[in-house]
Structure 1
């Protein structure tokens, strides 16, 4: 009788661990955003467009932060006061964002760490703790802008008092939890839908305001006047802080890991390519939104001598009568509401990633997101109750400057990690990318130092 030979087990190709999982780091972290990690499959052997569709989504979660209510305050102030001049700052900020977000995607895909985990695993505990505190301050400033923006939109559309609108934003925690339970794709779908709504609203606003195309194109050309004028520089730094946002660097390096792709060097290289395309397309859409806000303010307010319009309430009240279109103000408020709600969804997610990454603690998602929202709600409610519209507007602009001042503490580690061969292996930034990345980091640091020196000089003169 012949002996039965059992079938051979299928040959499984070896899985290459993350390039730097065991080298170049002091410590080793677990999975980033574990409840969503690797939950979205990428079809093997599929064509370019199917794979791009599978990777599309994280870039739009990141792009939301580049069109949040904090941008509205700085863009309105820049457009009404200085016309189209600061369009060049928006363009420069967006190009910086595209580069930095591509580095974030690379860091997350190659090392299996988000930026917060990478900082914790590289630096000593005191340095890591200091970076965590700075990052939490930035997230609070960002969340503050989102909460205030949503509350202002609810007030404009439905007459809801600002304080009640601020408190109502706490309900976004429930929405995030419900969507996360349904699957990460549901959260991405909602975000993309709201982004498209904002785009439609401002596309119509551009048509209503009829800006001069020649002036718009001229505004994209940089000028030294921006650096020489302290008031213009202050708003330019605000635009920079509102566009290149620190928490987005942590967020992107985490959410790219929600895709389940082939864990080989080739698979990672392909993942980096598609993730970069996704974020670049999404950020170009964010450029359109930010530029549209400034263009509408310049074409509506600046050209008619209303250079003082910097508050969202005032812009809402003036848009329809100045443009002669009754729907202009309503579309403005609807876009603001969509922007604020979108930003709160991604902001609470970023807060969870930062706390878990830096501290290596695992809180229940609802508790972490509730803590994030409460930290922003309390100061926003106090300011709204005591100072009303003018106080919330000033708080919006100031929050963006706080974000900008924190940027170097996120950007420099990101550039350093992705340029380190021990950590990145064959995926280390090539020479030209290292140069661009360090120039970007240097521009951010220099602009912030200039802002601080001007501020010290102004206060010293006042004294």
Structure 2
């Protein structure tokens, strides 16, 4: 059997990885994230646990995008207004994320290409450029949420104005550079530390809130009301966009290549197994965080009649009085700041991967990352200056809806590449994964189309055509 990596352009100099370009593929053979490409050695004759620890890390970087400040806005709005009902949306979105991230692992491990490089190699240049523009728009929307979330956290804890808080986030560029130069494990260690901080804060909040366990159980059951309540659907699409993020698909297919596993069929199969365990475990932790935010809002606000609480600042002010615990608001703000900082770190890496992958360009690392960060900071500062600080939560929710609308343009290429036996060899998706993956894509696209129709087509027109 021919090497499945042959239809993509592999970039490893070793003899066993000699590139062999297949029909319809272009590219210059550059590796993804060259500074850290295959920089972490995988022990060959080690125990199961040692190998798992060696592969652990990329999944947690990816999971950061599933618990960023955009999730806070949508989960707070959903919990305060609709109680525990939208927990089912968080669960379904998380299951979709687990499947899609598994496919990203397969793409990166088997082909040696990240999703952006694969799109550039496979599609005609106009199509690749269109996908790049859409992806940059999604990253800008994501970064907007992360920058604003970090700025709000700084404001709540230290009284720093939002505009200056946004400017301070530019320093994240230097943090990423410093840690990545010391080794990718340092980036992973920082991210995991911040994730544990967020988890600890919300574990304490759950104890303080004393939520209704029966309501939580019922909330994980899908509700038919979702398809008939336009406002609920809007928040649900925001949750979907905040959970399954387009840039995470590009990010994961790249950073999984930081592991120096054996480039044989057996080595690739082992890498896929361990990397999938890593990402699945990390995403289950993200499910706890997302569910915790919504449960906290439902227990603290919905059950006390405060259904209109949707702004992060308002939630911060009310948490301690409502729960009767003085530290509750402080823990909320600490978790928000940790979430924003974590997300900006991984967002910067995703921006680098997308820019290099689609455009096949090279520039100095600090310049590239500074451009990525300014794409988010400049719009955030302008929007806050024009519309004021009171509009930040609406901006967060809309940023997640924009993300959700772009998802299909990242998911469909991923499914096409990983389902193609010519490109993936024996690692091509089996029939049952193809069915689940395409069902996921259809659900995402249909919900987004319904959202567009509900919000941009006049009600009289919808009634006339039976929508």
TM-score (norm 2): 0.94
Shift of 1:387: 2.6
Matches of residues 114-263 of structure 1 in structure 2 within 5 Å?
A: 114-263=114-263
Aligned to 1:105: 105
Please give the alpha-carbon distance, in whole angstroms, between the structure 2 residues aligned to 1:389 and 1:88: 31
Relative to structure 1, the CA distance from residue 199 to residue 228 in structure 2 (aligned partners, 3 Å threshold; closer, same or farther) is same
Aligned to 1:7: none
Please give the alpha-carbon distance, in whole angstroms, between the structure 2 residues aligned to 1:15 and 1:31: 16
Aligned to 1:9: none
Aligned to 1:416: 416
Aligned to 1:60: 60
Shift of 1:193: 0.4
Cα RMSD (Å) of the superposition?
1.4
Please give the alpha-carbon distance, in whole angstroms, between the structure 2 residues aligned to 1:331 and 1:289: 14
Aligned to 2:371: 371
Matches of residues 247-326 of structure 1 in structure 2 within 5 Å?
A: 247-326=247-326
Moved >6 Å (runs of 4+): 459-462
3-state SS of 1:67 partner = coil
Relative to structure 1, the CA distance from residue 389 to residue 127 in structure 2 (aligned partners, 3 Å threshold; closer, same or farther) is same
Shift of 1:393: 1.1
Aligned to 1:72: 72
3-state SS of 2:17 partner = coil
User: Deviations 1:33-59 (Å, cap 9, x if unpaired)?
Assistant: 111100000001111100000000000
Please give the alpha-carbon distance, in whole angstroms, between the structure 1 residues aligned to 2:176 and 2:185: 12
Structure 2 segments unaligned to the other structure (5+ residues)? 1-13, 463-467
Tell me whether 1:400 sits opposite 2:373 in the alignment: no
Please give the alpha-carbon distance, in whole angstroms, between the structure 1 residues aligned to 2:158 and 2:460: 44
Aligned to 1:8: none
Shift of 1:113: 0.3
Relative to structure 1, the CA distance from residue 143 to residue 96 in structure 2 (aligned partners, 3 Å threshold; closer, same or farther) is same
Shift of 1:23: 2.5
Tell me whether 1:22 sits opposite 2:18 in the alignment: no
Asked if 2 retains the 8 angstrom alpha-carbon contact of 1:117 and 1:358, the reply is yes
Question: In the comparison of the two structures, how many residue pairs are matched?
Answer: 448
Please give the alpha-carbon distance, in whole angstroms, between the structure 1 residues aligned to 2:379 and 2:346: 20
Shift of 1:382: 1.6
Shift of 1:172: 0.5
Aligned to 1:32: 32
User: Deviations 1:398-426 (Å, cap 9, x if unpaired)?
Assistant: 00000000000000000110000111011
Asked if 2 retains the 8 angstrom alpha-carbon contact of 1:24 and 1:423, the reply is no
Aligned to 2:44: 44
Asked if 2 retains the 8 angstrom alpha-carbon contact of 1:67 and 1:339, the reply is yes
Shift of 1:171: 0.5
Asked if 2 retains the 8 angstrom alpha-carbon contact of 1:234 and 1:451, the reply is yes
Please give the alpha-carbon distance, in whole angstroms, between the structure 2 residues aligned to 1:21 and 1:295: 52
Asked if 2 retains the 8 angstrom alpha-carbon contact of 1:25 and 1:423, the reply is no
Aligned to 2:84: 84
Asked if 2 retains the 8 angstrom alpha-carbon contact of 1:21 and 1:111, the reply is no
3-state SS of 2:22 partner = coil
Please give the alpha-carbon distance, in whole angstroms, between the structure 2 residues aligned to 1:348 and 1:59: 16
Structure 1 segments unaligned to the other structure (5+ residues)? 1-13
Relative to structure 1, the CA distance from residue 299 to residue 457 in structure 2 (aligned partners, 3 Å threshold; closer, same or farther) is same
Please give the alpha-carbon distance, in whole angstroms, between the structure 1 residues aligned to 2:152 and 2:308: 19
